[in-house]
Amino acid sequence: KTITLCTVHTMLHSHVHVQPPKHASAIHCITRSIVLLLLLDVISAITTNIQEIRQQHRQHKLTFVAQYRQPIVNHRRNNNNNFIVVREFKKASFLTTMMLSGASKPLRGPDVQPARPNESTYWVIPDKLIAGEYPTARGRHDGETREKIGRYLACGVSFFLDLTQEGEKEAYESYIQKEGATREGAIQYCRIPIQDFGIPDKKTMSRILDTIDEAIWEQNHTVYVHCRGGIGRTGTAVGCFLVRRGNAGEEALEEVNRLFQNSGRSRESWSSPETTEQIDFVRNWND
C-alpha cells in the first residue's frame, strides 16, 4: 500500500513538474497522497453529478411558444417536480413573475407560515393563495362579520373568490368594500358558483383556475378561495390548482389533505375534497 500511494503521489507531482523533496518521510508522503486521492474522489463525484444534471436538463428541456393564448411552457414532469406547468398565459412577463416569486418550486416548504385570518383557513402558497370557510360570522352579526373580514384584510387578502351559490349564505361584498376603503389598493370580489357537494363542468373549473392565476400573477393580489365550509368545493379547486402547477392527480390530493390539516375544519372532515365525485374530479383533472 505504501508503494502504491507513493507512486501515485510521484505521478501527480510529475504532472505539474513538482518533485517531492528528497528528505520527505514515508509518512509525510502517504499523508499527502491520501489527501490527493480524496480530492480526486470529490472531483469525480462532482463531475458525475454535473453529468446527471445535464442529462436531466436534456430530458426535461423547457420549450417556449410565442403564439398568443397558447401554452408558453411545456415539459415532461420529473420525479422531483421542479418545473411548473403553465397552461395559458397572456404575457411572457407573467411567467417571469411566477418564477421569481418561487412558484416554480414544489409547494412543500418550512412549517413556519404567515399568520392566518382564523383557524378554519390554510395557506396554499404563503402570501399568495389561502383557502378556507365562508368569511363571515356564523349567524347574522354585523359587528363580528366586520371584525372577521378585517382579519382577512390584515393578512393581506385583497381578492375574494367565492364558490358558493347565490343566496346560500349572507352576502359579504359590501363588508369588504367598506373595510377596504381605508386601505391601500382595491379589494376585489368574484363569485364562480359550484353546487354544494357537487363538481363544476370543465369550463367552469378552468375559469376558476384562470381567475386565481391572473389575480395572483398579473394583478399581484393575495387570493382567498372559499366555499361554505372550506372542505369540498374549496378542496376541489385547490386540488385542480395543484395539478395545473405540475402535480399528478394523486399527488395533488395528498397535498390538499396535508395542507388541510392546518385548518380546524380538518377535525370535522376526514378528507378534502369531500365526496368521491370531487376526489375523482381532481384525480382526473387535466386542462
User: For the chain, which residues make up each domain, given as ranges?
Assistant: 23-52, 121-284
C-alpha cell at 48: 458525475
- Give percent helix, percent strand, percent coil of the chain, each to the nearest 5: 45, 10, 45
Sequential pLDDT tens for the chain (287 residues): 333 333 334 444 444 444 555 555 555 556 566 556 555 655 555 445 445 444 443 343 333 222 222 333 333 333 433 333 334 444 444 444 454 444 444 444 445 679 999 999 999 999 999 999 999 987 767 889 999 999 999 999 999 999 999 999 989 999 888 877 777 778 999 999 999 999 999 999 999 999 999 999 999 999 999 999 999 999 999 999 999 999 999 999 999 999 999 999 999 888 999 999 999 999 999 98
pLDDT at res. 198: 97
Using an 8 Å Cβ cutoff, are 143 and 150 in contact? no
Phi-psi region of 197 (alpha: psi -120 to 50; beta: other; left: phi over 0): left
Which CATH superfamily is 121-284 part of? Protein tyrosine phosphatase superfamily (3.90.190.10)
Number of helices and strands (H, E) in the chain? 9, 5
pLDDT at res. 84: 39
pTM: 0.65
Residue reference for cell 368594500: 177
Nearest to 104 by CA among 130, 129, 73, 134: 73
pLDDT at res. 137: 86
Using an 8 Å Cβ cutoff, are 255 and 242 in contact? yes
Nearest to 254 by CA among 237, 269, 273, 268: 273
pLDDT at res. 178: 85
Beta strand residue intervals within 112-243, DSSP E = 121-125, 129-132, 159-162, 188-191, 223-226
Alpha-carbon distance 130 to 154, whole Å? 13
